[in-house]
């Protein structure tokens, strides 16, 4: 396919409920969307960067400028056999993985439609349904958190993950465990602890968690390996893994026993598949993380979750948990058994509500090279 133009837009989507992690509380998302225009059907991609550099150093402003000045020019007017080929065209730009992923994933979407096959099949997926978990933010009180968990369990979700931070951790986990002794339960610290907290973190073992996600620094692997040796609970890395070499280091040093794959964090589907394959070869299970995506990114996460070694429930849940109205049709629905059924339709499997997206758009720019 020949890439004729790229449209970048920013849309604002208010969350149904605020979302709080150890690094802060948000009430809405500013989401950048990429549309790739080629000689065939157009492709859509979502950038998972937030509008503040708290989860990662990338944020909406850096993504916008990087795509405009470097990534779009690197791929415009190029002809690609496979969407994944764009990675080498963009490799001169260091980092900026979330920006790169938005472009690469839009190309995968276009390629799947052009080949008239489902995106999940193009990615190498095999599942006909995926298992869903939920990520529940820090609440104003433990009672509110327990109420939320009860609602999600009644809806069928198969794994509950709660956000933790110093002061909102052991007490919370103990309350959850005493009320629900047998559920799959994990927690995510988003880097809220240090190695000085080893004794404290050891006490998490009593809650029999499936995993503790990213307890230490966002860019660390070495100290996680030290910590993992001291804990019974499996560590899962999220922030620290930005490419397949990070994954190799984490797996081979024993820094984690489970890995969270977020396609945006690792620079696109190709690298996500590389990490999936590496972990499969080492017998390390992975699951698909979420970044409060709109339906466009959510559909991509669903497709990725169909790969064989995505063997634990992901943070892939129903549209209505996040948005009053999603930008895709039908919106993502989860069955009473806590699963999403995979559709056998070409592309990402959902219709994009361009009228609604237009209404939510704050700014929009189309890049093309002229005169060639
Ligand atoms: O660490 O997994 C995380 C949301 C924003 C930033 C980081 C994380 C999260 C989540 C939400 O946990 C997962 C979801 O999309 O529901
Ligand atoms: Mg996480």
pLDDT at 371 > cutoff 80: no
Q: Does the Cβ of 55 fall within 6 Å of ligand 1?
A: yes
pLDDT at 10 exceeding the cut of 90: yes
230: left (phi over 0), alpha (psi -120 to 50) or beta: alpha
pLDDT at res. 370? 74
What does the alpha-carbon distance between residue 359 and residue 266 come to, in Å, rounded to a whole number?
30
**What are the tens digits of pLDDT across the range 57-69?**
999 999 999 999 9
- pLDDT tens digits for range 203-242: 999 999 999 999 999 999 999 999 999 999 999 999 999 9
Q: How confident is the model at residue 34 (pLDDT cuts 50, 70, 90)?
A: very high
Active site residue 262: yes
Contact 170, 179 (CB under 8 A): no
Q: Are strands 129-131 and 134-136 parallel, antiparallel or unpaired?
A: unpaired
* pLDDT per residue as tens digits for the range 272-281: 999 999 999 9
21 Cβ partners below 8 Å, 6+ apart? 55, 137, 138, 163, 165, 188, 190
Q: What is the 137 CA–ligand 2 centroid distance (Å)? A: 11
Share of the chain above pLDDT 70, in %: 99
Instruction: Determine if ligand 1 sits within 6 Å of the CB of residue 297.
Output: no
Taking the CA of 213 as reference, the closest ligand is: 2
**Is the per-residue pLDDT at 255 higher than 90?**
yes
How many A from CA of 277 to the centre of ligand 1? Answer: 23
Burial class (CB in 10 A: 0-12, 13-18, 19+), 187: buried
Torsion of CA 63, 278, 92, 43, to 10 degrees: -50
* Whether pTM exceeds 0.95: yes
Query: Residue 104 corresponds to which tokens in the numbers above?
Result: 């690469």
Q: How confident is the model at residue 350 (pLDDT cuts 50, 70, 90)?
A: very high
Q: Write down the pLDDT at residue 12.
A: 97
What's the whole-number mean pLDDT along residues 282-292? Answer: 98
152 Cα–ligand 2 center, Å: 19
Predicted confidence (pLDDT) at residue 123 exceeds the cutoff of 80: yes
The whole-number pLDDT of residue 144 equals 98
Query: How high is the mean pLDDT of the chain?
Result: 97
189 C-alpha to center of ligand 2: Å? 7
The DSSP symbol for 307 reads S
289 lines ligand 1 (CB under 6 A): yes
pLDDT tens sequence across 77-109: 999 999 999 999 999 999 999 999 999 999 999
Please state the atom number of ligand 1 nearest to the C-alpha of residue 239.
Answer: 1
Catalytic residue list contains 100: no
**Which percentage of the chain shows pLDDT scores above 90?**
99
Ligand nearest to the CA of 214: 2
pLDDT of residue 169 exceeding 60:
yes
């Amino acid at each position: 396919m020949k890439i004729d133009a790229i449209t970048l837009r920013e849309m604002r989507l208010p969350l149904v409920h605020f979302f709080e992690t150890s690094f802060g509380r948000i009430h809405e998302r500013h989401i950048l969307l990429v549309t790739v225009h080629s000689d065939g059907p157009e492709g859509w991609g979502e950038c998972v960067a937030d509008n503040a550099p708290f989860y990662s150093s990338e944020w909406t402003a850096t993504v916008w400028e990087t795509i405009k000045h470097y990534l779009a020019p690197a791929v415009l007017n190029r002809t690609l056999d496979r969407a994944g080929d764009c990675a080498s065209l963009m490799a001169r730009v260091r980092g900026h993985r979330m920006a790169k992923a938005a472009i690469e994933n839009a190309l995968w979407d276009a390629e799947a439609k052009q080949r008239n096959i489902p995106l999940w099949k193009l990615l190498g997926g095999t599942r006909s349904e995926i298992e869903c978990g939920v990520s529940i933010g820090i609440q104003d009180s433990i009672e509110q958190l327990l109420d939320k968990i009860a609602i999600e369990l009644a809806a069928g979700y198969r794994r509950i993950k709660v956000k933790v931070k110093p002061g909102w951790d052991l007490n919370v986990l103990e309350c959850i465990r005493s009320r629900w002794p047998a559920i799959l339960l994990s927690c995510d610290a988003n880097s809220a602890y240090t190695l000085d907290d080893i004794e404290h973190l050891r006490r998490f073992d009593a809650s029999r968690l499936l995993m503790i996600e990213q307890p230490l620094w966002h860019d660390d692997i070495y100290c996680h390996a030290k910590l993992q040796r001291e804990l019974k609970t499996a560590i899962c890395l999220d922030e620290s893994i930005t490419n397949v070499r990070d994954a190799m280091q984490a797996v081979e040093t024993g820094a984690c026993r489970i890995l969270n794959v977020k396609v945006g964090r690792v620079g696109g589907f190709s690298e996500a598949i590389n990490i999936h394959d590496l972990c499969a070869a080492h017998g390390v299970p992975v699951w698909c993380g979420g970044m409060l995506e709109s339906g466009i990114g959510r559909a991509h996460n669903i497709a990725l979750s169909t790969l064989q070694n995505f063997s634990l429930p992901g943070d892939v849940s129903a549209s209505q948990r996040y948005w009053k109205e999603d930008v895709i049709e039908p919106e993502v629905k989860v069955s009473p058994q806590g699963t999403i059924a995979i559709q056998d339709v070409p592309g990402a499997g959902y219709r994009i509500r361009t009228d609604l997206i237009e209404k939510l758009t704050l700014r929009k720019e189309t890049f093309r090279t002229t005169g060639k």
